[in-house]
Amino acid sequence: MAIYYVAPWWTYWLHNFPHFNFVFQSVDNTFRPEETSYQQSLIFLACVGAAGLGLSLLVLTVYLVCLCCCCKDIEEDTKRPNTCCVTWAAVITGLIICSAVGVGFYGNSETNDGVYQLTYSLYNANHTLDGINNQVAGSLGNVEAGLKQHLERLDEIFATRSDYLQVLRFMQLMVNNVVRELTALPDIKKASVDLAALADQTAFIEYYRWLTYLLLLILDLVICLAMCLGMAKQSRWLFIMIMAFVVLSLILSWALLGAAIATAVGTSDFCVSPDKYIVNQTKDFLSADVAHYYLFCSPNLPNPFQQSLTVCQRSLTTTQIQIQGLLQFSVPVFPTAERDLLGIQRLLNSTEFSLHQLTALLDCRGLHKDYLYALMGVCYDGVEGLLYLSLFSLLAGCALCSMLCAIFRVWTLMGSRDKEYDDIDEEDPFNPQARRISYNPRRSDIHSFCSNTSSFSSQASLHPPPQAASCTMPPPEYMNQSMLFGGSPRYENVPLIGRGSPPPSYSPSMRTTYLSMTDVQISRCETNFHV
């Protein structure tokens, strides 16, 4: 299945971004990373993150000023400020951050996959180029060193036979042709070294980029969880810790936004026309026809190595024929020549095998496939992942700014709540704390005769009436009604006898004590209570 590279639409969109230098002059968007003006245009795009950070700090400053001014205008009779808006703002902000984290995880994974595909293709291409260099070096070593020694010894053996010497001269000519053609092959050793170094450097940078984004994503999730806990606990030290981490995450988000935009635009400039840049970078050690042969690998393009490989193959075949003739006719006359002739034959076989492998390695299909896979990884997965990471940084930066505003508002509400609690009057009868104090037996000056918590001495002072007493009072109507609600009411210490208050609830022991009292004791108790 043929693979063709077509730059995706988002690379053209990013490629058309305006490029300006530091003096706001338009710069050509052709990928030229070695030029200062182009570097300045990418740095100018990276300043978008700095602008976003400055805008966020400006918004926070304005919000703090407005918040401080509004706090002075809060009405004094407002006992519980409305926190509904703050709660919903915190919830929406947390949802936005969680969504942004999901986008960030996807973008980080896509970018990592693209860079991994790039490094894998670079290492694979480097392995192919190393194989080409090894095959060329091995073939030259066999032909130059091995054959030369055998031919020199055969010259001494066949010194008396001019016809055999003439065959040796012809074999030497064929060997020279092989050496010349192998030497004429382009030296791609430099390209191999550059690819390996580029792959190592790219893998190193990608590891720390991936780790940085992963830690930032985890930090944002922790901030969301801590924000929920802080809203529930209303803890000041927890809010201080959250604010510190939010500021750190805010700075990192905007900084990474600028870096992602600059990297995406620069990579898109390369992806729009990668062939032109590679031809310019390899012109020092590769000719234009060789570069085009590997970059396009079209059947219409001639193989620049075909002629050299054909000459080598024919020269080796001719030399093999000559060796076969000498083995057949010279060995019966010169037996000592057989060893050298067989040695030459083995070297020729080994060289021919290496030549076949070299022909397969020099074919454009292997390197062109690696080239296409590298472009697909960078320009599709890589740039797409950078766009998602940019979206994550933008959403996270805005959401974190809103989260800081919500935290500031909660902080002021906590301060106003503490101030309101400090202004509560302890003598207010409707204050729960004052009610608890008033019910304390040690602080109460009212002598109760029917309290559940009173001592036995206070109850002993009430002498029960004689058995013959006939003036027992019927239970009041409200006490009979209270028995209908016999659950577990809250019993009061003093019965409100003769007052206009609603009837209290009585325990069974209190009711028994009350029913056993005489009229005199009841009147005495009312007198003491009113006093």
What is the SS3 string spanning 7-53? Answer: CCHHHHHHHCCCCECCCCCECCCCCCCCCHHHHHHHHHHHHHHHHHH
Backbone torsion region of residue 234, taken as left when φ is above 0, otherwise alpha when ψ lies between -120 and 50, otherwise beta: left
Domain around 321: 45-72+105-419
Say if 298 falls within a structural domain.
yes
Residue 382: the pLDDT is 96
Q: Which long-range contacts (CB under 8 A, 24 or more apart) does 400-403 make?
A: 400/56, 400/97, 400/220, 400/223, 400/246, 400/249, 400/250, 400/253, 401/56, 401/59, 401/60, 401/250, 402/89, 402/92, 402/93, 402/96, 403/90, 403/93, 403/94, 403/97, 403/223, 403/227, 403/246
| 112: in domain | yes
| Residue 387: closest CA among 11, 7, 5 | 11
d(CA 59, CA 56) in angstroms, rounded, equals 5
The domain tally of the chain equals 1
Q: Judge whether 445 lies within some domain.
A: no
Q: Is 507 domain-assigned?
A: no
| Partners of 26 in beta bridges | 20
Residue 87 domain-assigned? no
Residues 6+ apart with CB under 8 A from 30: 38, 269, 273
What are the phi and psi torsion angles at 247 (to 5°)?
-65, -45
Note whether residue 137 is domain-resident.
yes
Q: Choose among 178, 206, 37, 43: nearest CA to 113.
A: 206
Residue 513: inside a domain = no
**Chunked mean pLDDT (size 10), the chain, 531 residues:** 82 93 88 93 94 94 84 50 73 92 96 96 92 89 84 89 91 90 77 82 96 96 90 83 94 96 96 93 85 90 90 92 91 90 92 92 93 95 97 95 88 62 48 46 41 40 43 46 44 47 54 57 53 45
pLDDT at 91: 85
Q: Does any domain span residue 155?
A: yes
Q: What is the pLDDT of residue 169?
A: 92
Angle, in degrees to the nearest 10, between helices 306-329 and 337-362: 160
Q: What's residue 521's pLDDT? A: 58
20 φ/ψ angles, rounded to the nearest 5 degrees: -130, 145
